[in-house]
Amino acid sequence: MLVFIVTGTVSFILFLNSLPLKPLPSWAHEMRHLPLCFWKDLCFSPSPFYISLKRLLFDGVWGLITSTVVMKHDCCISSSSKFEHSAVQNEEHFTSLLDLPELALDGILEKLSPTGLRNMGVVCRSLRDRCCSDYLWEGHLMQKWGHVLGPAVYRDWRRFIESAQSCSNSDRKKSHGFVKCFWQFWPFSCFVSSVFDESSEVQSSAVVDSFMSWYLALESGKFWFPAQVYNRESGHVGFMLSCYDAELSYDSQNDTFHARYPPHGSRAVAIESGVQWDRVRVAPVETSPHDLHVSDCLNDLHPGDHIEIQWRRNKEFPYGWWYGVIGHLETCDGNENYCHCFNSDTVVLEFNQYTPGSRWRKTNVSRKDHKEEGNESDGFYGGIRKLYKNDEIATWKRLWPRDILE
């Protein structure tokens, strides 16, 4: 066994000699001053064999190892000095990117893609601070994600990073607990404080609540954010011309989303993959899908207006928003010159994607006393919002089904 130990020790010394000449930390130079009695006390052995083994390991081998470490360190210092001297000589002939004027440097960084900014940020500390600035990343975030990020997304993002920080701090305390206890014993206590203080400084300097971290969290798909999806479940016939709340996660490989819909009663959570960008929108109102939206447009509804109305199959289901138009009363012939539907307390809602005579084609709601109306057979109609923007109306028309629904 003694032969194996000696052979392994010699191999380790040869391995040290083969390492590249890199500067060693300051504590490595101090290792030769560690009292050998600290290590000798770790062995308790009255046997002559262990006594001789202990002498070999601690008196001979440890001296060789520490001498090798110090020699490597001295060589590194000499090599580093030569390199610094050579660098000083060539400094006059070298122009750094940081030597450019501020405006020129900012102009270059503004033209970089997100990947380019990340690569540039690892060059040096100064460029890292510049390439991580909100000034640069806000533009990238808004350009790619702006039309699907609403106020609710930012609130969820704040909760996401707070939860991540809490878990990270908890894990760090657990992982450092035993390590710190061990390192408190002399002789390690002479340099342990600087190691942990430096680690804490690095952690505190990391900017988590920034546009860069938000962008990267969205790109990675780890952050699920709230939005609404048109024609859910791949355009299932039961959801044509509707828009439902969901949580989305980005799939960077396919440039699509995974959608996670709230459960419908006893049904499990539905998950849809391959959701295209043009099927995603920011929730137009901050009403929960389980709450009735307060309709503030009832007195402004005229025949021909475009609307969205909440609808759900039963009261255990969440609401979805369904597209429709305001129609004429049965007593009106549709002539604009003689139409008085606007003065009626009854508002006719038409869903022209369904065939005439279908029970889903038309329904009436009260203009003055509107509340959730319906039954278990036909579903329940909730709040109404009028569409004023042409792009909203154009989106619904683009999603119009090829065939009339029954």
pLDDT band at 325 (very low <50, low <70, confident <90, very high): very high
- CA 257 to chain CA mean position, Å: 13
pLDDT at 50: 44
Average predicted confidence (pLDDT) for the chain: 75
Section 341-351 average pLDDT = 93
Least confident segment among 84-88, 108-112, 300-304, 312-316:
84-88
* Strand boundaries in 206-255, DSSP class E: 225-230, 242-251
C-alpha to C-alpha distance for 14 and 292, rounded to whole angstroms: 76
Return the higher-pLDDT residue of 89 and 286: 286
**Lowest-confidence range among 166-170, 188-192, 318-322?**
188-192
What is the arithmetic mean of pLDDT over 78-94?
52
Kindly report, residue by residue over 125-164, the tens digit of the pLDDT: 888 888 888 888 999 999 999 999 988 888 888 888 887 7
pLDDT number for residue 169:
59
The string of pLDDT tens digits covering residues 358-399 is: 989 999 999 988 889 888 888 999 999 999 999 999 999 999
Which residues fall within 8 angstroms of residue 117, CB to CB, at 6 or more apart? 109, 131, 136, 137, 140, 212
